């Protein structure tokens, strides 16, 4: 049985120019980008020539006059014709106001390939209201002359192949029109997609049943939005458990990944590469630590931290061999390896997997007195989440982390902060520990370290701690590979340069405020920090899972944790308008 999506045609790709025409602000480039993404996902050769692209490369010297508009289109037509001749799908989206000039372009393109005109129809007042670049305001004020639709005419096409009415249609609907036309006329191969039920049945048949996902089959994503295989759009309020702080498919990170993948992907640690040292330096400088050890998954980072702490205990603190103890907290979640579930307090994680790794002591979370009471001369470290994520978005009492730091200092115990979910901006600080201005001895990072593109994790510590490792003590074939490092470097730059950490504070306060005003008999408490928020439901609500299912049906993807808590953790790029839309669905579901 053929399980993959497949083309129904074995034809060679034919060259075609798809010419989007319409007023500024009508949505030409937005639709073109959507079409481009879909066609690239199919492995087709696509180039997009939009207003910004052609201004940078072809038309920087041209203005808004009719003569300059004609020269603009003449140059773009030349490029589009060459690409079309070579079998490329060319998506042109910029102002082309005159029918005669568009007709000339059609004739020239049809000498070498196919030409499809898409009229992106949108009323002038709607375009002016959108005014993405502020051009309409300047045109109406007389600051820009010869502006199409204001001081110069726009001549709509008389017989376009496709009409997209963006005041009435979503971007997805408009893009789907274009794709259907191209498929229907044999200009791109048709793609047969399986029904969602077929994907689910396949996974249930051939995949191990170690997860219980919501039954939505996602096929693509952008920013805070994802789409299923039937084209339905959802807002992502989980962010892959905080791995997507920078948003889905961030273009800068994608570009960095593509560029590195063309050069070098893997060397193993048997040889050096030119990306790992740069990531080590940049991450240490950003966080204030002296050394970094790269791994792949968050669980690996925690295991690495535990190994480092034990060896530090034996070689630096002087704990007798095989006597080291590490203190952990009830309700913790640090991964699912044998050692890590050894100190889990959740029986479903442990059942059937013993015997377990010794050397761990568990205390109540958020109780500094319990920590001090549990410390013995053999204690080498205390492992804690600054906020418990899987534990139900549990925020410890104010001052708890400061007391932990003071207690660990006094007893010569390493303070290990698992910041895999809470770190890298999620709570509104680079690290959640920064809220109390404390610096742990060891920090583990993962998830958002790659912006959701690649498994990347890291252990950060002082030279005294990570310096205990010698060649052969620890390693990973893929840990520190150049592709992962290039991706992580750009993901960190995006986080800082785009102000996403501060944005988490602003949007988190807005989200919390909106949630706290929701009137529902089911809500017991709203808690969290930044954009890591938990809504705990009363026992009478019947568990959080059914509400997550209902929210999925309304277009909001989130997940329950600890039975009675709904976790909300959208990408940090989310806007107020997107929060408002999501909260309308939340209010609807929690009110019913």
- 447 a catalytic residue: yes
For 206, the 3-state DSSP assignment is: helix
Active site residue 367: no
8 A C-beta contact, residue 151 and residue 139: yes
Candidates 228, 418, 434, 441; catalytic one: 418
How far CA 103 is from CA of 7, 29, 100, 110, 115, in Å, comes to 32, 21, 5, 11, 10
DSSP 312-380: HIIIII-PPTT--EEEEETT-----SHHHHHT---HHHHTT--S----EEEE-TT-HHHHHHH--TTEE
Closest by CA position to 571, among listed 235, 107, 303, 208: 235
Confirm whether 418 is a catalytic residue: yes
Q: What pairs with residue 119 in β-bridges?
A: 21, 163
Give the Cβ contact number of residue 58 at 10 Å: 17
* Strand 523-529, strand 532-537: pairing: antiparallel
For 427, the 3-state DSSP assignment is coil
Contact 326, 340 (CB under 8 A): no
Alpha helices in 412-544 (DSSP H): 463-466, 482-497, 500-516
Q: Which of 447, 529, 552, 559 is catalytic?
A: 447
Burial of 117 (0-12, 13-18, 19+ CB in 10 A): buried
Cis amide prior to 187 (ω within 30 degrees): no
289, 333, 343, 568: the catalytic one is 333
Catalytically active residues are 333, 418, 447
């Amino acid at each position: 049985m053929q399980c993959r999506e497949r083309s129904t045609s074995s034809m060679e790709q034919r060259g075609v120019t798809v010419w989007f025409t319409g007023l500024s602000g009508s949505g030409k480039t937005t639709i073109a980008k959507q079409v481009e993404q879909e066609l690239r996902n199919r492995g087709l050769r696509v180039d997009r020539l939009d207003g910004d692209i052609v201004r940078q490369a072809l038309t920087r010297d041209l203005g808004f006059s009719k003569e300059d508009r004609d020269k603009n289109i003449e140059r773009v037509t030349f490029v589009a014709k060459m690409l079309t001749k070579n079998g490329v799908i060319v998506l042109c989206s910029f102002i082309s106001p005159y029918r005669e000039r568009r007709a000339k372009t059609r004739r020239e393109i049809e000498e070498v390939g196919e030409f499809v005109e898409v009229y992106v129809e949108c009323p002038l007042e709607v375009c002016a209201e959108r005014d993405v670049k502020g051009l309409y305001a300047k045109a109406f004020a007389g600051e820009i002359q010869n502006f199409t639709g204001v001081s110069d005419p726009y001549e709509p096409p008389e017989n376009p192949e496709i009409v997209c009415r963006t005041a009435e249609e979503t971007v997805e609907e408009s893009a789907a029109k274009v794709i259907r036309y191209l498929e229907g006329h044999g200009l791109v191969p048709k793609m047969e997609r399986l029904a969602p039920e077929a994907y689910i049945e396949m996974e249930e048949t051939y995949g191990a049943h170690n997860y219980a996902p919501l039954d939505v089959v996602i096929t693509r994503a952008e920013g805070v939005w994802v789409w299923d295989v039937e084209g339905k759009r959802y807002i992502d309020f989980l962010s892959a458990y905080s791995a997507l702080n920078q948003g889905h498919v961030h273009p800068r990170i994608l570009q960095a990944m593509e560029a590195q993948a063309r050069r070098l992907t893997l060397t193993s640690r048997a040889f050096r590469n030119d990306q790992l040292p740069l990531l080590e330096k940049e991450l240490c400088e950003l966080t204030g630590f002296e050394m970094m050890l790269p791994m792949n998954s968050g669980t690996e980072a925690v295991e690495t931290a535990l190994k480092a702490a034990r060896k530090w205990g034996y070689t630096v603190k002087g704990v007798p061999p095989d006597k080291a103890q590490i203190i952990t907290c009830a309700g913790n979640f640090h991964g699912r390896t044998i050692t890590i579930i050894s100190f889990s307090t959740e029986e479903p994680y442990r059942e059937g997997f013993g015997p377990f790794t010794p050397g761990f002591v568990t205390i109540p979370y958020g109780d500094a007195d319990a920590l001090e009471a549990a410390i013995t001369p053999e204690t080498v470290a205390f492992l804690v989440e600054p906020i418990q994520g899987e534990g139900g978005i549990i925020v410890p009492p104010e001052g708890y982390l400061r007391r932990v730091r003071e207690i660990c200092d006094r007893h010569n115990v390493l303070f290990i902060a698992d910041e895999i979910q809470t770190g890298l901006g999620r709570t509104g600080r680079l690290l959640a520990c920064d809220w109390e201005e404390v610096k742990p001895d060891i920090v583990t990072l993962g998830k958002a370290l790659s912006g959701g593109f690649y498994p990347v994790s890291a252990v950060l510590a002082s030279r005294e701690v990570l310096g205990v490792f010698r060649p052969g003590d620890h390693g990973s074939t893929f840990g520190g590979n150049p592709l992962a490092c290039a991706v992580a470097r750009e993901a960190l730059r995006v986080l800082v340069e785009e102000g996403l950490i501060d944005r988490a504070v602003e949007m988190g306060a807005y989200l919390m405020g909106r949630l706290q005003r929701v009137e529902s008999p089911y809500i017991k408490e709203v808690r969290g920090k930044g954009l890591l928020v938990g809504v705990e439901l009363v026992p009478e609500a019947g568990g959080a899972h059914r509400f997550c299912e209902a929210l999925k049906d309304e277009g909001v993807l989130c997940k329950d944790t600890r039975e009675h808590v709904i976790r909300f953790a959208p990408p940090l790029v989310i806007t107020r308008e997107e929060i408002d839309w999501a909260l309308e669905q939340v209010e609807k579901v929690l009110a019913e």
